[in-house]
Structure 1
Amino acid sequence: MKKLSSQEEYEWIREETVEMLLDKRQGIRVENFLPNRFTHYCKMIHPLYRDPQIQDEHLLWSECTPKQAEAIQLGERVRLAALAKKYEVDCSKELSAASLMQKLNAVPRYLITGDEGEIEPDSLNALVRVLHQFSGKESCCFWYEGLKMEEYAAALFHGKLSEVMELSTRAGLRGTPTYWWPANKAWCVYTDTDLDFSVIAGSHELIEALVADDFLECFACDVATLMI
């Protein structure tokens, strides 16, 4: 893995996304973050977990004692689609953990929502496994925005796809890259510091493979899908 002195390789993303300051529509959409050259997109939900200590599913985070709020345990994984069905939340392209909060006006304490700005290791491994099928031997670029850098200065790295696992644990970097893509730009992954899901762009075949993956929880979306 090599840190590049120039960020020129990142410029295609800036050039091919819809600039938010010029977008007069309400809300922020997929096309405000990902290049518009792609034909298909999906959201990858960062895993949610059940806290086995909490038996009362009606207890909300806002009602917790300080001890209940601090002593967190990650139990079994919970699928967002199953939670949407349970709480009668519309399973639309905009579905996220925030959808539960909007429906319930809070989040139940027994639920631990996904990490913001980071893809946890098991999901990262599963994602790399799928992406590898569509990358061949292409090298990849990994871009970190300033908020994910200890020195608050954006940085661009270059290396093998598999090296993203090592990169995400490197000192001075916070979580997984903001953007990463192969040299042939066959796909692009975006992880926002404030969102508990990532968005991936690529071919129809790639998105189908991600949605069908048994471990990952991915939902097809499009450039007009609201992110926030």
Structure 2
Amino acid sequence: MNAVYPSTITHVRTSPKRHTLHHRTYMWLIDPDAPPRLPFPLRPLARFDARDHFGGGERTIRAGLEKFLTARGVDLGDGSVLMLAHARVLGHVFNPLTVYWCRDAGGRPLCVVAEVHNTYGERHCYLLRPGPDGRDVVKKEFYVSPFFPVDGDYRMRLPEPGERLSLAVHLERDGARPFTATVRGERRDATPAVLLRSVLRHPWSTMALSLGIRVHGIWLYLRGLPVQPRPRHLPQEGVK
């Protein structure tokens, strides 16, 4: 069930200036009810904590997800969940996007939750009801990039991963797509050897991702992109 996806995250910005970011990392696909059981020496390299998701105050990640869904009229019941995320590595975690694929007790797709974190320590969740192609459109409600205001729509394509991981999020504003983020990777069994190889190739991966996004933000600012005012963050019910 649990798997590791060596991945490439790509950000393509087309307006007001064109800029592309590529970042290589690895992500985990897990059952939050049965996270990976690693040998004791490897546990600091991959932890999944409830404090890092939703309101952060529930006992488990599953409980946080259920609280969020219940507040929106969705009963997960005895259904199953797959979660794609970065693990906490050496005490640090940063998850620009965590995705939860939820199925009912009969195995039928129920919904998808896209949990977005920004670099200001805030998070926001989008409830999706994608069609067979894994696509849905939601209104943007959360400040992420300092160079875009909180308006427009997200067109998300989030199919459940198999041997390959292929996600895409398009920001649509005024009939254009000024920003696109993609995540692409290939599945590997979540063995200790795979984890060690991933860690050696991408040391302290979550810190590297966080710093990389900040460095690119500074570069864009120095190129003259205006910073948009950040509105006061209003936490959602069930979300920090």
Higher relative contact order (CA 8 A, sep 6+): 1
TM norm. shorter chain > 0.5: no
TM-score w.r.t. the length of structure 1 is: 0.26
The structure in which a higher percent of residues are helix is 1
Decide which structure has greater strand share: 2
